Structure 1
Amino acid sequence: MVTPRRTRVEAVGEGAAVTTLELFFDLVFVFALTRVTDWMADDPTAEVVLRGMLILVVMWWSWVGYSWLGNVAKADEGLIRVGMLVAMAGVFIASITIPEAFDDLPGGLSGPVVFAVAYFVVRIVHLGMFWICSRDDPQLRGQIVRWIPSVVLGTVLLLLASQAEGWVQTALWAGALLGDYVGTALAGASWRLNSASHFAERHGLIIIVALGESIVSIGIGVAALPVSWPIIAGSVLGLAIAGAMWWAYFDVTSILTEHALAEATGERQIRMARNGYTFLHLPMVIGIILMSLGLKKALLYIGGGEGHALSDPLYGIPLAALYGGAAIYLFAHVWFKRYLIGTLNVERIVVGVVLLAITPLVALVPAVVALLVLALVLCGLVAYETHRFRELRHAVRHGSHAEH
């Protein structure tokens, strides 16, 4: 990519590492994920969780666009650096407005309007930066032109949603996000992917960010309660659950899929990046955030908060989020691996189905037992896979790549 010096846009090379500015950029998403979880936990009804997921998808769409931009032009150089910092401000303002994204609170500015305008700023800066990067690349410029309608549709619908209420507002949000995803899929696969390792690393880091939110939820759930043995036990179980989810992604899967992405070329590589990372990492993040909601409520029950006793069961939406989130995460892993490397991880499908099947049963036992069961199931899956595929795992992690 050759651009005039006055724009100071520097192309990313193969094997590039994630920049410190991109890590800084991710900090606002840590805050955004925390806000989404806290907002849902305050009133965990089905409607609130649905709206929380819609907000999460908007946050994801804001983040993922800059993961592509940072793979074309270095994020910490020249004009792109300025654009990233402006986008950070937009995401941060949207994040602090999350509790008012649907229903405006008394006083001050209109929350839904502020959220929609902040999202518009994030999208328009992203589009402008990509337009500059493509000035000497007709193929990329053509791709951007085909993609613009989906950007316009999604942003306009979200702005319209800020003026609506009830189911109409929710439907407009869903339409905005659907338009973005469908439009992106139909716009073609003529994007640029300059560094497969950088792209895979960026998406691995966002999984870390989401898992970090699960740990934050454990702490926040009991922050105002006096420490006790049940709280210590629940916290350890929560960390075991988060650790098993980390292991499921980073032990082997992330290595194999990055290798497959690096070996692909042309439009096939772009489709793998778009479908496997941009699209299929979203349900992984959704699963983690739902699980974080369940962890936060479970620790609150275990610690005796809000009038609960240690023997009280976790039930309803929080329990469904805890077990369902873990299942969604596993199913997304299966689809991700299937798409990128062609293997079908039957073990994770079975465990995901088992988690969904036993959810009504664990609603009958104390919350700490529900956490214990989930931790045993997920850690058992990790132990089984580690033992069964130990030779292939060793080859992937310490030798040549092998299909798992």
Structure 2
Amino acid sequence: MSQHAERSSSPRPHLGRVRAEPKREDRAVTTLELFLDLVFVFALTQVTAFMADHLTATGLVQGLLVIALLWWSWTGYAWLGNLVEADEGVARIGMFAAMAAMFVLALCIPEAFDDLPGGLDGPVVVAVCYLVFRMLHLGLFYLLSGDDSGLRGQLLRFTPAVLAGTALLLVAAGTDGAAQTWLWAAALAADYGGTWLGGARGWRIRSARHFAERHGLIVIIALGESIVAIGVGVALLPISWPIVVASVLGLTLSGALWWAYFDMTALRAERAFAATPDDDRARFGRDAYTFVHLPLVAGVVLLALGLKKVLEYVGDTEAHGLADPLKGVALIALVGGVGLYLLASVAFAASAGAAVERVRLVVALLLLPLAWAGSALPALAMLGLLTGVMVALVAYESLRDAEARHRLRHEDGHAATSA
């Protein structure tokens, strides 16, 4: 009997008196989880707009902190949806409540650090929404843990980090300036660090397929945000050849990032994840997916910001000339976003047990001098150069790994299906 069959035939976990359906090994992502992701993608568009309106080093750091906050909110429900079916019983009600909290939080992102005149206090609303989101997540996990003493113990170790992070965020809402930014960083450090120090053994991964697919879909959503940024950047401008060229280059660059993740890396990781013994799956899920996918998503959001600014440069001829180069934060976002994505993909492959992708690592490091040289290149030329580098990278990897790719995507896939 295959390992998959053994897991599928294992006894269903007892969930006490709470009505819920345990997640099965062969179950895919539910439509309700995709519904939550729609709220998440709206939040990402809000972050891109926030950074575009605060195009300074401080604005960039604050935008990255908001991404980390949103990611930690989202990923908790990826773990919850792997314990039970998200669209069944009490989990369904909890998911809708979580969507409401995230949506209100996303609405407040433009004033997450600086309250706008009138209405409610924006930073306080963000902090309260995050508190509600995390308390819902923690409470649902307690309800659904049933008689699982290992999971209950993990939740007890996890709770102080949740309380510390949310408390610091509430304190930050009452401050401003550098102190507020540092308190945000401290809140996230407490949340992330507490999870790391609490270990992973008590957490449960019931379906490797679901967990891997969940994170793959969120990468797609982030890449979709980069395409949305292209359209938003020129929505009110008359179409022109520079806009057409920049749009095609931006789409090609986003496609190259898709290729770098989905062509082989994601499949290899999912196979390694599925083959991991149950006792080690939680550690694998925490390291390779929960932690490493944050810089993947952050890199794409930074790229979206860079693309938005490039389209503004080439489209708004009254404010910019075609010879104008990207400078400062916009250039860092464009090139640094791709570099961060590549470094995260290397870490993802390595955490899944694959060999270190040295070529990607070298290309990511070479982007540093490229960013320096890019300050003298027209924005459109810089985008074309960056796109060419990424297309060359994925073309080289595809030719180099052609045989291994065929086995992974066809022969090994058929074998896994028939096992």
The 5-angstrom pairing of residues 287-326 of structure 1 reads 287-304=299-316, 307-326=319-338
1:36 and 2:52 correspond: no
2:194 is aligned with 1:180: no
| Pair 1:239-2:251 in alignment | yes
The total of aligned residue pairs comes to 401
1:115 aligns with: 126
Question: What is the one-letter code of the residue matched to 2:253?
Answer: I
Q: Cα gap change, 1:306/1:9 in structure 2, threshold over 3 Å: closer, same or farther? A: farther
How far apart in 2 are the matches of 1:353 and 1:175?
29
Q: From 116, 131, 135, give the equivalent of 1:124.
A: 135
SS where residue 341 of structure 1 aligns? Answer: coil
Offset of residue 266 of structure 1:
3.4
Partner residue of 1:79?
Answer: 90
Conservation of the 8 A alpha-carbon contact between 1:65 and 1:126: yes
Q: Determine the structure 1 residue equivalent to 2:371.
A: 359
2:265 corresponds to which residue? 253
How far the C-alpha of 1:303 sits from its partner, in A, is: 0.8
Task: Return 77-86 or 358-367, whichever deviates more.
Answer: 358-367
Kept in 2: contact 1:12–1:72 (CA 8 A): yes
Indicate conservation of the 8 Å contact 2:16/2:146, yes or no. Answer: no
Residue in structure 1 matched with residue 362 of structure 2 by the alignment:
350
Indicate which of 87, 102, 123 corresponds to 2:113.
102
Counterparts of 2:24 and 2:238 in 1: how far apart (Å)? Answer: 52
**Alignment partners' CA distance in 2, 1:214 and 1:231:** 15
CA distance in 1 between counterparts of 2:390 and 2:293 reads: 19
CA RMSD of aligned residues (A): 1.2
Distance in structure 1 (CA, Å) of the matches to 2:192 and 2:298? 16
Which residue of 1 is the match for residue 238 of structure 2? 226
Cα distance in 2 between the residues matched to 1:217 and 1:225: 14
Q: d(CA) in 2 for partners of 1:382 and 1:322?
A: 18
Counterparts of 2:178 and 2:324 in 1: how far apart (Å)? Answer: 34
Letter in 1 for 2:100: A
Q: TM-score, normalised by structure 1?
A: 0.98
Q: Is the Cα–Cα contact under 8 Å of residues 225 and 305 in structure 1 kept in the other structure?
A: no
Q: Which amino acid aligns with 1:40?
A: M
Q: Secondary structure at the match of 1:400?
A: helix
Query: Is there any run of 5+ residues in structure 1 with no aligned partner, and where?
Result: none
Indicate whether 1:16 and 2:27 are aligned.
yes
> How far has the Cα of 1:305 moved from its partner?
5.4
1:226-282 deviations in Å (ceiling 9; x for gaps): 000110000000000000000000000000000111111134221111011000000
Which of 124, 131, 136 is the equivalent residue of 2:147?
136
What is the alpha-carbon distance in structure 1 between the residues aligned to residue 232 and residue 218 of structure 2? Answer: 21
Q: Which runs of 5+ in 2 are unaligned?
A: 1-12
Residue 225 of structure 2: aligned partner: 213
Partner of 2:57: 46
Offset, 1:400: 1.8
- The answer to whether structure 1 residue 164 and structure 2 residue 156 are counterparts is no
Give the secondary-structure state (helix, strand or coil) at the position aligned to 1:307.
coil
AA aligned to 1:251 is D
Runs of 4+ in structure 1 over 4 Å off = none
* SS of residue matched to 1:314: coil
Q: Per the alignment, in what secondary structure is the counterpart of residue 173 of structure 1?
A: helix
Distance in 1, Cα, partners of 2:16 & 2:163: 28
Identity over the aligned pairs, expressed in percent? 53
Q: Deviations over 1:92-131 (max 9, x none)?
A: 0000000111111100010000010011110010011100
Distance 1:61 1:74, change over 3 A: same
CA displacement at 1:4 relative to structure 2: 4.4
Q: Could you tell me which amino acid in structure 2 is paired with residue 198 of structure 1?
A: H
The answer to whether the 8 A contact 1:304-1:310 is kept is no
Summarize deviations over 1:129-155 as a string: whole Å, max 9, x none: 100111221111111011100000001
TM-score (ref. length: structure 2): 0.94
Give the deviation of 1:166 after TM superposition.
1.1
Q: Determine the structure 2 residue equivalent to 1:204.
A: 216
Q: Is the 8 A contact 1:62 1:122 kept in 2?
A: yes
Contact 1:256 1:341 in 2 (8 A): no
Question: Within 2, Cα distance between the matches of 1:11 and 1:166?
Answer: 46
SS at match of 2:352: helix
Contact 2:205 2:278 in 1 (8 A): no
Distance in 2, matches of 1:306 and 1:127, equals 52
- Say whether the 8 Å CA contact 1:300–1:306 is kept in structure 2: no
Deviation for aligned residue 1:353: 1.1
